[in-house]
């Protein structure tokens, strides 16, 4: 295999490792075989503290790996050169420090030569503050120094390794944000389910799981959400189908709301809302499927949207915020008036002001807006 073909294969393997970190071992194995080296290592080091983070090795005795982390990292004479050179530069060991000087050090005698390593090179892949992500290769005296072809291959590969590590860290950040977001949804006192465009749940928070297991009339039939009353169940499925179409940009309604009562007389309020990708990804960083639908499930009195947060977000007065919170909790306008101790005319006037401030024209649209914003702003108590 010629050097060009080898380089292309190594580049492809490197980008595979960006998405599957366990494949870095395969990258190192392929590279050492192509170049003919003794050992290889990928490590993250804070030279200011001597702390070693990511550390993947090939051909190293585990005892020496441990010894480097605990002791030799403080004696590594290649560090000044690797910290000085630009990211992506291939630095030969004998250029970093002449062999005559290396030979007099503990690092050379008790770490390198003890593993039959004579010739070394290093590449700084990333650098941030005092943290350095480094890749290094070592060859024995019998294998000889690195050739011009070896260096040409590595200089071609180095920027791809840097990009691959950047992609890997970006993927880790996205995963961390997604885990944080889903953990936040688990703290809500209202059931939340995120469905794909087929109505299959991609996420169910803890409250929704509790409702599904509590014999309250809500159930999963296969992978479909349903209710004990067939007519109510069909209506719910219709809401989900239409909301998925709307979320995908096709014709469809904005979901819907229904009140279901089980055989024990317990009332559930269910709101089905299309969740457009631009809305969902901005606050959470969640990679949601196309056609994502949010389903909110609550028993009467369990939602409790924070009135102070509603006021801050929409400019509601305290009275308007209380009304909006009660409507989101499933109360009718008449019941909300009774709860607040005011006349129906008063709450209608307040509702008109709420509509104006949220730019919606129907009560169902208002509830959809408030519950959708709940996902990104944590409005619940």
Q: How far apart are CA 112 and CA 47, in angstroms?
A: 19
Higher pLDDT, 302 or 91: 91
Q: Average model confidence (pLDDT) for the chain?
A: 82
Q: How far apart are CA 210 and CA 310, in angstroms?
A: 27
pLDDT tens column, 242-300: 888 887 666 555 677 787 776 666 678 888 888 754 443 333 344 444 557 888 887 75
Give me the pLDDT at residue 303, please: 54
Give me the pLDDT at residue 206, please: 87
pLDDT-derived band at 3 (thresholds 50, 70, 90) equals low
- What token pair was written down for 252? 């469809």
Which whole number is the average pLDDT over 226-231? 86
Q: How far apart are CA 279 and CA 266, in angstroms?
A: 33
**What percent of the chain has a predicted confidence (pLDDT) above 70?**
83
Pick the CATH number of 178-377 from 1.10.240.10, 1.10.3720.10, 1.10.10.10, 1.10.760.10: 1.10.10.10
DSSP state of 380: B
pLDDT-derived band at 175 (thresholds 50, 70, 90) equals low
Pick the CATH number of 3-172 from 3.30.70.60, 3.10.20.30, 3.50.30.50, 3.30.450.40: 3.30.450.40
% helix / strand / coil in the chain, to the nearest 5? 50, 20, 30
Environment class of residue 319 by beta-carbon count within 10 Å: exposed (0-12), middle (13-18) or buried (19+)? middle
Which whole number is the average pLDDT over 17-35? 88
pLDDT tens column, 313-324: 889 999 999 998
Phi-psi region of 22 (alpha: psi -120 to 50; beta: other; left: phi over 0): alpha
pLDDT tens column, 110-123: 999 999 999 999 99
Count of beta carbons in the 10 Å neighbourhood of residue 133: 22
Who's near 42: CB < 8 A, 6+ residues apart?
A: 24, 28, 54, 55, 56, 57, 133, 134, 135
CA angle 227, 229, 230 (to 5 degrees): 90
Who's near 116: CB < 8 A, 6+ residues apart?
A: 38, 140, 141
Q: How far apart are CA 28 and CA 252, in angstroms?
A: 52
pLDDT tens column, 345-376: 999 999 999 999 988 888 877 877 777 666 55
pTM above 0.85, yes or no: no
List strand residue ranges (DSSP E) for the chain, in order: 39-46, 51-58, 90-92, 119-128, 131-139, 191-195, 201-204, 218-221, 224-227, 256-261, 267-274, 293-299
Who's near 187: CB < 8 A, 6+ residues apart?
A: 378
CA angle 127, 158, 155 (to 5 degrees): 125
* Torsion 322-324-329-332 (CA) sign: positive
Can you give the residue ranges of every domain in the chain? 3-172, 178-377
Mean pLDDT check: name the lowest of 123-127, 187-191, 376-380. 376-380
């Amino acid at each position: 295999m010629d050097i060009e073909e080898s380089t292309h294969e190594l580049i492809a393997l490197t980008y595979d490792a960006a998405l599957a970190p366990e494949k870095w071992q395969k990258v190192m194995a392929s590279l050492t075989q192509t170049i003919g080296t003794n050992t290889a290592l990928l490590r993250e080091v804070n030279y200011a503290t001597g702390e070693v983070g990511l550390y993947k090795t090939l051909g190293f005795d585990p005892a020496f790996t441990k010894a480097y982390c605990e002791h030799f990292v403080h004696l590594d004479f290649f560090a000044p050169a690797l910290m000085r050179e630009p990211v992506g530069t291939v630095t030969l060991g004998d250029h970093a420090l002449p062999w005559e000087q290396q030979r007099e050090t503990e690092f050379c005698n008790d770490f390198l030569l003890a593993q039959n390593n004579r010739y070394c090179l290093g590449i700084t892949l990333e650098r941030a503050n005092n943290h350095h992500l480094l890749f290094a290769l070592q060859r024995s005296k019998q294998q000889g120094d690195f050739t011009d072809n070896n260096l040409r291959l590595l200089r071609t590969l180095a920027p791809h390794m840097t990009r691959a590590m950047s992609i890997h860290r970006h993927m880790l950040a996205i995963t961390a944000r997604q885990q944080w977001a889903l953990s936040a949804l688990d703290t809500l006192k209202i059931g939340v389910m995120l469905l794909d465009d087929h109505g299959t749940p991609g996420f169910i928070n803890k409250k929704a799981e509790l409702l599904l297991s509590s014999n309250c009339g809500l159930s999963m039939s296969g992978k479909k959400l349903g209710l004990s009353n067939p007519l109510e169940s069909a209506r719910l499925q219709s809401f989900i189908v239409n909301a998925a179409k709307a979320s995908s940009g096709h014709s469809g309604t904005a979901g819907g709301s229904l009140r279901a009562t089980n055989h024990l007389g317990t009332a559930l309020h269910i709101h089905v809302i299309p969740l457009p990708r631009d809305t969902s990804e901005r606050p959470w960083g969640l990679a949601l499927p196309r056609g994502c639908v949010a389903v909110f499930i609550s028993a009467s009195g369990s939602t409790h949207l924070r009135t102070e947060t509603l006021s801050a977000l929409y400019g509601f007065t305290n009275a308007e915020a209380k009304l909006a919170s009660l409507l989101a909790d499933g109360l009718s306008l008449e019941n909300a008036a009774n709860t607040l101790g005011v006349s129906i005319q008063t709450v209608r006037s307040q509702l008109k002001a709420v509509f104006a401030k949220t730019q919606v024209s129907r009560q169902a649209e208002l509830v959809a807006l408030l519950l959708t914003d709940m996902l990104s702003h944590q409005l619940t108590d």
